[in-house]
Amino acid sequence: MASTRTIFDNSSALLSSPPTGIIFKLPIGIAFPQGPPEGSLFSSSFDRLMDIRVPMTIATIYATCVHILNRSRGHGTEPVRFARTTLFKWLVIAHNLFLCVYSAWTCLGMISSLVRTVTETSRSHSRGSSNFWRGLCSLKDGIWGHGLNYYGFLFYLSKFYEILDTVIILAKGKSPSLLQTYHHAGAMLSMWAGIRFASPPIWIFVVFNSLIHTLMYFYYTLSGLNIKVPKAVKRALTTIQICQFLFGGSLAIVHFFIYYFDPSLGQYTSCLVNPGQTFALWFNVLYLAPLTYLFIGFWIDSYVHSRKFYQTKVQ
C-alpha cells in the first residue's frame, strides 16, 4: 500500500494515489459485467446492446445526418406540414411528459437503491465511511448489482430515444445547435462506457442527469401546454445543468483516489479495479469538459447578450 496514503474520516476510509497499474491501460478483453435482472426489460439483449458498434453507429449516423441537414437547409426553413398540426403538438407534449416521468422514476429508483445499498453495507461491517464507498464501488456488494445495472442500462437506452428531441427541432424548421448534437451523441457513448465496464462513478451521471431531465422535460411539457413559465426558471435550469457538470465531474474524479475496506479480502482495495473502469471515467470527464464550455456559451448568449440586445432596442 502506497506510503503517501493518508487517513481519511477517522481511519474508516483511505485516500491514496490512483492505481497507476491500470489507469493508462486500454480496456481490451474485459468480460461483460452482470447485466440487469433476468426477465427485466431488454435484459436478454444486454450483451448485444452493449456492443460498441451500437452506440458508435447510431451516434455517427445521428451527428452526420444533423450536420448534412443543417448545411443543406440553411436558416429560416419552414416547418414541415405535419409540424403545424394539433396531432404533432400533442405528440411532442406526450414525448416530453414521458421523458419527465421516466427520468423521475429513474432518479427515485437510483436514490432508493443507493440508500438501501449503503445502509446494508454499513450494517455488515463497522468501518464508517469506508462502507459508504464500498456501497458505491464494490461490484459484489455495492450499488451495481442492487439497481445501477438495471436503471443505468435503461438510462443508456433512453439516450437513443432522446434523439427525438432533435427530430422535433428539425420538423419545426429549426437547425439543431452544436451543443444539441454533441450533447446527444456524446451521452450515448458516455453511458455506454460507464455501463459496459461497470464503472462506479457512472452512478453520478444517472442520478444527476435524471434529476435535471425531470425538471427540464417538465418545463418543456408546460411550455407545450402554453403555460407561461418565467425566463428565470429556464435560466435556473441551465445554471443547474452547468453546476451538474462541474460538481459531477469533480466527484467522479474523486473515485480515482478512493480505497475502501473489503471484508472478503480483509484489506483496503481501490474503487477502480480494471482498465475499463478507469477508461470510462476518463471518457466521461473528457466528454464533460467541452460540454460545459458549450453550455456556458449558451448561457451567455441566452441570458447576457440577449438582455443587452433587448436593452439596446428599447433605448
Tell which residue, 53, 47, 28, has the closest CA to residue 275. Answer: 28
The three cell numbers locating residue 245: 457538470
Q: What pLDDT digit, counting tens, does each position of 65-88 carry?
A: 999 999 887 666 789 999 999 999
Bridge partners, 14 (sequence order): 7, 259
Q: What is the mean pLDDT of the chain?
A: 89
- Under 8 Å between Cβ of 64 and 178: no
pLDDT at residue number 17 = 86
Q: What pLDDT digit, counting tens, does each position of 31-59 carry?
A: 999 999 999 999 999 999 999 999 999 99
The three cell numbers locating residue 58: 447510431
Instruction: Specify the DSSP element, H or E, that contains 267.
Output: strand 267-270
pLDDT at residue number 126 = 59
Residues 6+ apart with CB under 8 A from 299: 235, 238, 239, 242
pLDDT at residue number 76 = 64
Residues of the chain falling short of pLDDT 50: 1-12, 308-315
Q: From CA 145, how far away is CA 147, in angstroms rounded? A: 6
pLDDT at residue number 125 = 62
pLDDT at residue number 4 = 41
- The model's pTM is 0.90
pLDDT at residue number 129 = 67
Q: What angle do CA 101, 103, 108 make, to 5 degrees?
A: 95
Q: From CA 85, how far away is CA 89, in angstroms rounded? A: 7
Q: From CA 15, how far away is CA 19, in angstroms rounded? A: 11
Domain ranges (residues) in the chain: 6-15+53-314
Q: Is 262 helix (H, G, I), strand (E, B) or coil?
A: strand
**Chain centroid, CA 206 distance in Å:** 5
pLDDT at residue number 121 = 84
The three cell numbers locating residue 129: 465511511
pLDDT at residue number 315 = 32
The three cell numbers locating residue 287: 466528454
Q: From CA 203, how far away is CA 266, in angstroms rounded? A: 26
Q: From CA 52, how far away is CA 61, in angstroms rounded? A: 14
Report DSSP letters for 6-64, one per residue.
EEETTTTEEE----HHHHTS---SPPP---SPTTSTTGGGHHHHTSTHHHHHHHHHHHH
Q: What angle do CA 273, 274, 277 make, to 5 degrees?
A: 90
The three cell numbers locating residue 61: 449516423
- Under 8 Å between Cβ of 221 and 98: no
- Under 8 Å between Cβ of 33 and 139: yes
- Under 8 Å between Cβ of 217 and 100: yes
pLDDT at residue number 131 = 82
